[in-house]
Structures are given as C-alpha cells and as structure tokens.
Structure 1
Amino acid sequence: MSAPAAPAQAASRSSFYAGMRVLPKREREAMYAIYGFCRIVDDIADDQQGDRALRAAQLDQWRADLAELYAGGNGGQAAFLAAAIERFGLARADFEAVIDGMAMDVARDIRWPSHAELDLYCDRVASAVGRLSVRVFGMEERPGLALAHHLGRALQLTNILRDIDEDAAIGRVYLPREAIEAAGIRTGDIATVINDPRIDQVAQGLAAEARVHFDQSAKILKGRPRGHLIAPRLMAGAYAELLRRMVRAGWKPPRRRVRHNRIKLLWMLLRLRLGG
C-alpha cells in the first residue's frame, strides 16, 4: 500500500476538512499527513476482500518503514510523514499504536469485546491520533494528553454507536460484552444480538460513557489552553451533537443512521473562527 499522492485530497473526505484548512500552513500540512496515514492503515484493516495474513504483513511493513524513518532513513511508504515528525516532534509510539489498533481488527472480527479491550481499542485507533494531533496544535503536554484521552474516546464511542448496523454487516460488534450480558442478551448470532430491542439499553449505557468523555473534553477546552484549537472544538461540538441526536432517536431496531449536518458544521466553524 503506497503513501497518498496528495494527503490534502485524502483529508478532504473527512467531515472536519474545514477545521483542518483553517490551521496555519505547516500545521495544516502536518494534519493532512497524519490523516493520510490513518486513512491508509484503516483501509488495510477494513479490506474485507484481503487475506488476513497479507493485511497483517502490510501493517508490519508500515511498522518497519516507520522504524526506518525514525532511524534517519528514507522511510519507504512512510516518507511523507517526515516533515510533520521533524517539525512537531511526533512520537513513533503513537503512530505504532494506531497500527496496533488496526491490527486488532485484522487479527479477528471484534465482537462484543470486554470493556477493557474496547477501551484499549479506542485508545489505539482514536486517542493515539489525538496525541499526534495535539502536538501539531501546539498544546502543552498535560492538557494536550488529557484532551487526546477524553476526546479520542468520546469520538470513537460515538462512531461505534452510529455504525452498529454497518459494523455488523462486516461481522463486527464493538458493544461491550459486559453490557450486552447485563441486558440479558445472549451473544452468538450477530443479527440476533443487534436486533434485540434490549440493545438500546446497551447503547444508552455506552452513550453515557461517551458523554462523560465529552464533558471532560469541554472542561479542558474551556480552560483555554495554548494552541490552535478550532479543529478539536469543532470535532467535540459536532460529535456531541451527533450523540445527542442518536440518544433522542434511540437504538431499538429498526435503526436509522444519524449523519452529520454539514450546514451546522459550517455554521459552527464560522462561530469558532469569530471567537464565539
């Protein structure tokens, strides 16, 4: 899998492309590179046509290329990350954590993980991206790491709640086993699990957990830490609104997928740029 020819073009598929575009040039280009990396390894993890061993080997090659890049070499397909790594001191461990998260999906189709495994997954595929991002945003270490921890988990849990049916269609259920069993649902057949009306109880519990992380993120951002914070404010506001709409709709089958309102996103971005 090769590096993206145009990271900005890859980033344009994101709902938060507008938030990245308002960053200064060096920060903007670094975020495009980070997003491009995440897009590539995520595509490897979600390639339902590819052999698992081949996909695992592709992720291992990314690890090897990152190791070469951090050792001062060309870095192979990871070469496009070099400028961002050098300018912002991005940690190799965070890139590797993202790969480790994708490897969890490649090793097996995750179904009703323990809560501990789900939290580890969220840390790797979301909070690790946050740890890279807050360095680019210029945040100080303590508030930056706290924001990455909470906002990353809030966003990923919201994604999981939004994509229950889409994930189930490819053999995955990220809702935690403990909550499913507490609701009286027997694990086994995926369709039986996600079409049980009691799945709403499971999802509402996970939504409450996501709200705690959103609340903690809001407290950090209200403290006005140093940095370019329009992008994380936009992400927090848009995803918190998405979660509120899902909670109102509930998760009893049949479900309707709730999507971002792009007009509201643009309005929110305008307010943020005006300091509102």
Structure 2
Amino acid sequence: MLDLTNAAASQPSRDRAAQRRDPQAVLAGENFPVAVRILPATTRRHLLALYTYARYVDDLGDEPAVAGPGDRLGGPAVAGPGGAPVADGSGTDADAADRLSTLRWFAGEVRDLYDGRPPRHPVLVRLAPTVAACRLPADPLLRLIAANERDQVKSRYADHRELVDYCHLSADPVGELVLHVFGAHSPERVALSDRICTALQIVEHLQDVAEDRRRGRIYLPADELAAHGVAERDLDAPRAGGALREVIRVQAERAAAALDAGAPLVGQLRGWARVAVAGYVAGGRAALTALARSGYDPLPGAPRPARRDVLGHWLKLMWVRAG
C-alpha cells in the first residue's frame, strides 16, 4: 500500500519495520523532510493519524505477524473476530484467510465509528478527531482496507489496467484524504490527485520488486513480463537481467507520465496544501531519477533518491504560477 509520506522512500526497505514504529520520524524525515517539518502542528497531527491508520491496515494485510495495538500504540490490546487478538506478536505467520478475517473485522470497526459508536481500537481512537475535524469520508478509509483484502486473494496482475485498478484501492484514497485534511477537496482535484497517487504507488512497486517477490507478490504486468521472456524466477536473481530492466523502465515511464498529468494539482493549491502536495510529487520524481540511475535494477535493494533531487524538484514545482 502507498505510504502516506510516500514514494521517494529515502530509507531502504529493510528499515521499514522500524519506521512504522515511529510514524513521527517517517513523516518528518523520510520522504519529504523540508515541507513536512514546517507544517502546522494541527495539520501534522492529522497527517500522522492518517499515516498510522494506513500503516496499521497495511501491516494487517502484509506482515506474517503484527504486533498488537498495545505494543505499537501504547493502548490496550484489542480483540479481533471471535474475541481472538488482532495478533499475538509471537512471529507466527497467519494464513491469508486469517488476515482476511481480521481485515474485515477492522472494516467493521471503521463503519462503527461512522455510525456514531465510540471507537475502541487505539488506531481509530487516534483517527477519530481527524475524521471529525476534517470531515473525512468513510469510503477512502475502507478502500485502503479493501486493497489489503485483495492482497490476500490476488498476487499477480494480468496487465497494467489491473494494476491501475488496484491502485484505486491502495493509493488513490491517500491523496483524497490528504486533500480533506487541507480543506482543498473537490472532484477535479481528486481526479488529479488520483493520477499522482497511482504513479507513486507504481513507483513504490518498482522500488520493491524484490521485497514483494519475497512476500509472494508480483506487481508487474504479467503480459509484459511474458512478452519480454521474463520468468518469475528471474525476480529472485541478485541482479535484474536486461529484459526485466526493460519491463521496469516502461513502467517507470508510465509513472512519470502520470505524475506529469497530475502535477497541475500543485498549481491549484495554496498555502500548506501546495507545500505538501508539491513534496509528494517531488518525492516521486526523485525516486524515478534514482531508479534510472540504478539502470532500472531494484533487485539488490530499493534505489535511494538523493534528498537534493527531492528538494530540486520541489522548488521547481513551487515556482510554477498558481492556477
């Protein structure tokens, strides 16, 4: 799922477990340190609540075992379906059916929040003030859960269209929620944000080809892998071969085009919204630059963008005349 602070993952993938335990550090310093550090405290708090929600949902769908809410958030452990704990923290892998059941239970907890029932889960207790203050709709929050539900039953994607459809669940809701936080939501802006977020999700997939493969998932179009003669076992190699690099290059070009198509959103925004969204676009562009520098080979590890590239792209975006 798309990280809220997304796409220019300046920390290698192997550090993500530590990052998730400290969302403040991620939001302030991972992908766009210049803009987010200077956001007003209230806005930063709302974004942290969203980040914590998104990361927790992602962990429920991705991790072999997720630390209980008490371990992660300082709150009491919360029972899952049938009274079972959400996770016992023992490191025992839960099968996909168990994860799917837990995700559906958590979706019910979100619906209860919107039905006026006081939240019990620590993640939702933290999110509830943001839901009220920013008038967050339920649909984007539930779509993030639906993306993880899909991950339990689908691990391959036939073509680019299927991947874009997945991004509508896993990534686009993040941008819509961020626009609500900044009070900048409109149908036109959401459409532009969707292009940005889909691009950022694709970039993240390209960075994490090896990590996703270890999880048993492939977020590259199967038809294009087959057309280039790339077998699934080729994703297990220490370095990408020429054919796989070409597939990744094509996906990167698509992501760059989608970022460009969504970038006019920056010109429509004012104030802190403009600062932050320019940062997300800049992070994506810097990540694409890093991927190109790696020769489109993410198998040794996620290519790490230089912060000077993030800042350079951000300054260019901020210089564009507001629309």
* TM tier, smaller: 0.7 to 0.9
CA distance in 2, matches of 1:24, 1:147: 25
Are 1:65 and 2:109 counterparts?
yes
CA distance in 2, matches of 1:252, 1:269: 25
Contact 2:210 2:299 in 1 (8 A): no
Instruction: Tell me which residue corresponds to 2:129.
Output: 83
Count how many residue pairs are aligned between Structure 1 and Structure 2: 271
Matches within 5 A, 1:89-100: 89-100=135-146
- Secondary structure of 1:229's match? helix
The one-character-per-residue Cα deviations of 1:136-182 (angstroms, maximum 9, x if unpaired) are: 12214034202321110111111111111222222221001121122
Instruction: Tell me which residue corresponds to 1:246.
Output: 291
The one-character-per-residue Cα deviations of 1:197-234 (angstroms, maximum 9, x if unpaired) are: 20112111111110111101222223446762211111
Are 1:54 and 2:70 counterparts?
no
Structure 1, 134-143 or 266-275: larger mean CA deviation: 266-275
Matches within 5 A, 1:199-210: 199-210=244-255
Judged with a 3 Å threshold, the aligned counterparts in structure 2 of structure 1 residues 253 and 36 are, in CA distance, closer, same or farther, namely closer
Among candidates 260, 283, 287, match of residue 215 of structure 1 = 260
Deviation at 1:69, TM superposition (A): 0.5
Instruction: Tell me which residue corresponds to 1:36.
Output: 52
TM-score (norm 2): 0.73
CA distance in 1, matches of 2:188, 2:317: 20
Are 1:102 and 2:102 counterparts?
no
CA distance in 2, matches of 1:100, 1:215: 27
Are 1:133 and 2:149 counterparts?
no
- List gaps (5 residues or longer) in structure 2: 1-19, 65-92
CA distance in 1, matches of 2:281, 2:316: 14
Judged with a 3 Å threshold, the aligned counterparts in structure 2 of structure 1 residues 139 and 226 are, in CA distance, closer, same or farther, namely farther
CA distance in 1, matches of 2:318, 2:296: 35
CA distance in 1, matches of 2:175, 2:311: 22
Judged with a 3 Å threshold, the aligned counterparts in structure 2 of structure 1 residues 88 and 240 are, in CA distance, closer, same or farther, namely same
Deviation at 1:245, TM superposition (A): 2.6
- Secondary structure of 2:273's match? coil
Instruction: Tell me which residue corresponds to 2:209.
Output: 164
Deviation at 1:39, TM superposition (A): 0.8
Instruction: Tell me which residue corresponds to 2:166.
Output: 121
Deviation at 1:102, TM superposition (A): 1.3
Instruction: Tell me which residue corresponds to 1:197.
Output: 242
Instruction: Tell me which residue corresponds to 1:148.
Output: 193
- Give the superposed CA RMSD: 3.1
Q: Which has the higher contact order (CA 8 A, sep 6+)?
A: 2
Contact 1:158 1:243 in 2 (8 A): yes
Are 1:261 and 2:306 counterparts?
yes
Contact 1:111 1:171 in 2 (8 A): no
Deviation at 1:270, TM superposition (A): 8.3
TM-score (norm 1): 0.84
CA distance in 2, matches of 1:117, 1:132: 23
- List gaps (5 residues or longer) in structure 1: none
Deviation at 1:263, TM superposition (A): 5.5
CA distance in 2, matches of 1:112, 1:260: 27
Are 1:19 and 2:72 counterparts?
no
Structure 1, 234-243 or 182-191: larger mean CA deviation: 182-191
CA distance in 1, matches of 2:149, 2:192: 25
Query: Which amino acid is the alignment partner of residue 125 of structure 1?
Result: S
- Secondary structure of 1:138's match? coil
